[in-house]
């Protein structure tokens, strides 16, 4: 399926088939009676970096988890690079292959070594040969600057190293889009930077990224647009400079005053 | 608290600020906490209740151990070949355990009526099984993935051919009716484990399945089997199994018992495995799904390896129970280890008033050694898991 021309494939983000990476159109979701996502409309274009922020419980995680179907939406449409997410299991697996995800708590596989964590999906899902998968994995470990940890188990690494492994694990699948759900909020302060640096480099390579984070420095530096959510709705979307310097909505102003003081 | 603390640091602490000058060297613990006396005071005599318990236990040991040693070792008869050797004589009024009887009949206890010239096959089976058990139990063994295939596929097939015989490869047929003793006990236990674990895993997955029909079947099976005694399951297996085949089909008696034991153990294994599955955090499933693994790959590559590992102590405990429960197969006419002792103790060659006690003592020691060994192993794994070995 993939066109792999050079020696090691998949070092650049895989090209999107369409110009629109993610299209959320009138998406609603309920947990029981609780209306957690209300009429979400968001179009993310190729190589765009979106930062999503908002108070706790506003539905940020739920929204990006809908994009790779870890959560199911009940109304509206979600189209990922031309593929609409419906109840077709094949399609869902196809989307998941192309969408990498990084979690707040890393969720590395503790019974596998770092290298095995990275090669598992390429071997079993992408059907790569073990040797090729390991080569690619080592390349990404170098990119996240921990090639020397390949043979260790996740439990033997620091939080920052684990999160970088998690990023490398997602990259090994050669994704078109990367989702980050608060990738630094479980980390000690001195490790936040190493993970953010990794993400900045990823952005420089042109990866399409949706990042839930409260790291406003990162948002300023990297984001094309910032999405502010509250109570399951998108309240404000703007470019970083305008968002921080001149927020429009009352709720945004309050939120920013609380986290920036 | 103690006088050690009154150092120069204490003086420095009087001011609002403090900067450590000299680093503190580690000191040995205060005397009362260390050494044999400290240990005894802490562990044996720490409170009134503890003192009472210590005395009661000491009394129990004094009361029980000397007669046991006397019976099992000092007064025991080690040599002899007929019952008269184990009868009291004027020069030996007190007779302890008649180990001569056990030594004389040990082959019968081990092989039952398995033909003498074919018994090497049983020995090979024991070795194959032991190798498989070591491969599985040794957590750092090389290629444990191959070990799984060996234990659950290769070994059962080879053992079956070896024990039953296959004239085509020059192994004479030995009907299961002539199997007996430790062989049968081990076969029933091993088959119980080899089959109950995979079936138990499937049932456990079924019970957590999204599909209502699968879930319902699993729940009914597990709860039904766990709700009746093993004896009932054995009776049902030996009476009902023939009903499922053609009318002329009369399955082997041992096979019926094996099916019964396996299904019984599977229901318990299912619950043990389910507990393990429940301990795997949701994040593991999500991470697996997010990289595009489907249900079976997620289970087989991510969830089960972790769940089974933390479940090993409980699997071993279930196995201990199963191992002891196999003695019940005598109910459906299977000649297991305990039955060989039953048969031997009433054998006129050896029947004396004390021979039954010897036989049962031997059986008790046999079961104790195996069960204690397994129990120690479970403890070892538990300790290793608790030590946070994330492998
Ligand atoms: N499985 C669930 N069942 C019911 N309610 C849920 C479930 N998951 C989340 N919720 C609720 O949905 C709301 C949105 O949750 P979500 O995790 O998306 O918030 P968030 O914006 O990511 O918050 P945080 O910053 O704390 O991560 C919360 O009120 C939460 O309690
Ligand atoms: Mg969240």
Q: Is A4 a residue whose pLDDT tops 60?
A: no
| pLDDT for position B7 | 55
pLDDT digits (tens, 9 = 90+) for A118-147: 999 999 999 999 999 999 999 999 989 999
User: Is B211 in the A-facing interface, judged by CB distances under 8 Å?
Assistant: no
Could you tell me if B293 lies within 8 Å of chain A, comparing CB atoms?
yes
Name A206's Cβ contacts closer than 8 Å, sequence gap at least 6: A12, A13, A47
- What pLDDT does B384 receive? 85
* B284 close to A (CB below 8 A): yes
Q: How high is the pLDDT of residue A260? A: 77
- Mean pLDDT (chain A) is 91
Per-residue pLDDT of B54-84, as tens digits, reads 999 999 999 999 999 998 988 888 888 888 8
Q: Answer yes or no: are the C-beta atoms of A2 and A122 closer than 8 Å.
A: no
pLDDT band at B34 (very low <50, low <70, confident <90, very high): low
**Chain segment A157-212, per-residue pLDDT in tens:** 999 999 999 999 999 999 999 999 999 999 998 899 999 999 999 999 999 999 99
How far is the C-alpha of B205 from the C-alpha of B303, rounded, in Å? Answer: 11
Nearest CA to ligand 1 atom 25: A56
What pLDDT band is residue B134 in, cutting at 50, 70 and 90? very high
Nearest CA, atom 29, ligand 1: A57
* pLDDT reported for residue A212: 97
Minimal CA separation from A72 to chain B, in Å: 13
> What pLDDT band is residue A39 in, cutting at 50, 70 and 90?
very high
Q: Which atom of ligand 1 is nearest to the CA of A104?
A: 27
- B266 in A contact zone (CB under 8 Å): no
Whole-number pLDDT of residue B280 = 95
Q: Give me the interface pTM, i.e. the ipTM.
A: 0.91
- What's the pLDDT band for B29 if we cut at 50, 70, 90? confident
Q: Would you state the pLDDT for residue B278?
A: 95
Residue A17 near residue A83, CB atoms below 8 Å: no
Apex CA A196: angle with CA A192 and CA A197, to 5°?
A: 115
Residue A1's pLDDT band (cuts 50, 70, 90): very low
Q: Do B290 and A105 touch (CB under 8 A)?
A: no
pLDDT of residue B12: 58
Tell me, what's the pLDDT at B75?
87
pLDDT tens digit sequence for B307-336: 998 898 999 999 999 999 999 999 888 899
**Minimum-distance CB partner of B289 among A96, A120, A173:** A96
What region, left, alpha or beta, does residue A32 occupy, with left being phi > 0 and alpha being psi -120 to 50 degrees?
left
User: DSSP secondary structure string, A191-203?
Assistant: HHHHHHHHHHHHH
Using 50, 70 and 90 to split pLDDT, how confident is the model at B190? very high
Q: What is the mean pLDDT of residues B189-195?
A: 91
Does the pLDDT value for residue A9 go beyond 90?
Answer: no
Q: Which residues contact B352 (CB under 8 A, 6 or more apart)?
A: B83, B86, B87, B98
Q: Hey, which residues does B102 pair with through a beta bridge?
A: none
Report phi then psi at A18, rounded to 5: -120, 170
Domains and CATH numbers, chain B: 174-378 (1.10.3720.10)
Among protein residues, the one with the nearest Cα to ligand 1's atom 6 is A31
Q: DSSP assignment of A141-184, as one string? A: HHHTT-GGGTTS-GGGS-HHHHHHHHHHHHHHT--SEEEEESTT
**Confidence tier at B1 by pLDDT (50, 70, 90):** very low
Whose CA is closest to atom 17 on ligand 1? A61
Is the distance from CB of B234 to CB of B260 less than 8 angstroms?
A: yes
B35 pLDDT tier (thresholds 50, 70, 90): confident
The confidence score (pLDDT) of residue B10 equals 59
Ligand 1 centroid – CA A57 distance (Å): 5
The Å distance, Cα A181 to ligand 2 centre, comes to: 6
pLDDT of residue B385: 81
- The arithmetic mean of pLDDT across residues B219-244, rounded, is 90
pTM: 0.83
- Whether residues B292 and A173 touch (CB distance < 8 A) is answered with yes
- CA B277 – ligand 2 centroid, Å: 25
Mean model confidence pLDDT for chain B: 88
φ, ψ of residue A84 to 5 degrees: the values are -85, 135
Report how far ligand 2's centroid is from the alpha carbon of A37 (Å).
13
pLDDT tens digits for range A53-91: 999 999 999 999 999 999 999 999 999 999 998 888 788
Whether residue A6 has pLDDT greater than 50: no
| pLDDT of A7 | 44
Structure tokens at A60: 């940020």
Which ligand approaches the C-alpha of residue A53 most closely?
Answer: 1
**Residue B135: pLDDT above 50?**
yes
What are the tens digits of pLDDT across the range B142-158?
888 899 999 999 999 99
Mutating to test ligand 1, I would choose from A27, A33, A52, A58 the residue with most ligand atoms within 8 A of its C-beta, which is A58
């Amino acid at each position: 399926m993939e066109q792999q021309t050079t020696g090691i494939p998949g070092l650049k983000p895989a090209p999107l088939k369409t110009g629109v990476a993610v299209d959320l159109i009138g998406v609603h979701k309920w947990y029981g009676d609780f209306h957690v996502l209300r009429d979400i409309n968001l179009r993310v274009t190729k190589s765009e970096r979106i930062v999503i922020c908002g108070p706790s419980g506003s539905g940020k995680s739920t929204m990006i988890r809908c994009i790779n179907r870890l959560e199911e939406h009940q109304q509206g449409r979600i189209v990922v690079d031309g593929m609409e997410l419906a109840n077709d299991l094949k399609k869902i697996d196809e989307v998941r292959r192309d969408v990498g995800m990084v979690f707040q708590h890393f969720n590395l596989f503790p019974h596998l070594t770092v290298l095995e964590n990275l090669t598992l999906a390429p071997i079993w899902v992408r059907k790569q040969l073990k040797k090729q998968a390991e080569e690619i994995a080592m390349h990404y470990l170098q990119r996240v600057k921990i090639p020397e940890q390949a043979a260790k188990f996740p439990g033997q690494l620091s939080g920052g190293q684990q999160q970088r492994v998690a990023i490398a694990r997602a990259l090994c699948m050669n994704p078109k889009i990367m989702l980050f759900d608060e990738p630094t909020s479980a980390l000690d302060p001195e490790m936040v930077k190493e993970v953010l640096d990794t993400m900045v480099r990823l952005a420089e390579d042109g990866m399409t990224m949706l990042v839930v984070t409260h790291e406003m420095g990162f948002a300023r530096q990297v984001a094309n647009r910032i999405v502010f959510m509250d109570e399951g709705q998108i309240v404000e979307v703007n470019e970083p400079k305008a968002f921080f310097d001149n927020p429009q909505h009352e709720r945004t102003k309050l939120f920013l005053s609380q986290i920036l003081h | 608290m103690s006088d050690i603390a009154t150092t120069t640091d204490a003086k420095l602490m009087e001011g609002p600020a403090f900067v450590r000058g000299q680093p503190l060297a580690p000191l040995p613990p205060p005397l009362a906490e260390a050494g044999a006396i400290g240990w005894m005071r802490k562990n044996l005599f720490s409170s009134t209740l503890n003192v009472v318990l210590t005395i009661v236990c000491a009394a129990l040991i004094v009361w029980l151990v000397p007669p046991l040693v006397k019976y099992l070792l000092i007064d025991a008869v080690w040599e002899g070949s007929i019952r008269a050797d184990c009868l009291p004589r004027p020069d030996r009024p007190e007779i302890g355990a008649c180990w001569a009887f056990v030594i004389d009949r040990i082959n019968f206890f081990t092989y039952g009526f398995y033909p003498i010239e074919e018994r090497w096959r049983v020995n090979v089976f024991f070795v194959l099984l032991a190798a498989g058990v070591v491969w599985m139990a040794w957590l750092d063994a090389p290629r444990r993935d191959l070990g799984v295939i060996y234990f659950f596929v290769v070994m059962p097939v080879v053992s079956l051919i070896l024990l039953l015989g296959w004239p085509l490869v020059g192994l004479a047929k030995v009907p299961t009716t002539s199997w007996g003793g430790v062989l049968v006990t081990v076969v029933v236990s091993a088959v119980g484990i080899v089959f109950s674990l995979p079936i138990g895993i499937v049932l456990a997955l079924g019970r957590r399945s999204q599909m209502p029909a699968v879930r319902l079947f699993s729940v009914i099976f597990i709860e039904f089997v766990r709700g009746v005694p093993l004896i009932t399951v054995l009776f049902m297996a030996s009476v009902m199994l023939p009903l499922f085949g053609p009318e002329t089909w009369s399955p082997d008696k041992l096979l019926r018992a094996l099916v019964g034991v396996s299904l019984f153990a599977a229901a318990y294994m299912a619950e043990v495995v389910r507990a393990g599955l429940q301990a795997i955090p949701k994040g593991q499933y999500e991470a697996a799904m997010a990289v595009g693994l489907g249900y079976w790959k997620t289970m087989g590559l991510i969830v089960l390896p972790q769940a089974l590992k933390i479940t090993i102590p409980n699997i071993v405990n279930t196995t201990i129970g199963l191992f002891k429960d196999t003695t019940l197969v005598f109910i459906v006419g299977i000649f297991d280890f305990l039955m060989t002792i039953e048969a031997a103790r009433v054998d006129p060659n050896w029947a004396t008033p004390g021979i039954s006690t010897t036989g049962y003592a031997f059986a008790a020691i046999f079961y104790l050694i195996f069960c204690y060994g397994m129990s120690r192993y479970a403890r070892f794994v538990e300790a290793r898991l608790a030590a946070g070995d994330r492998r």
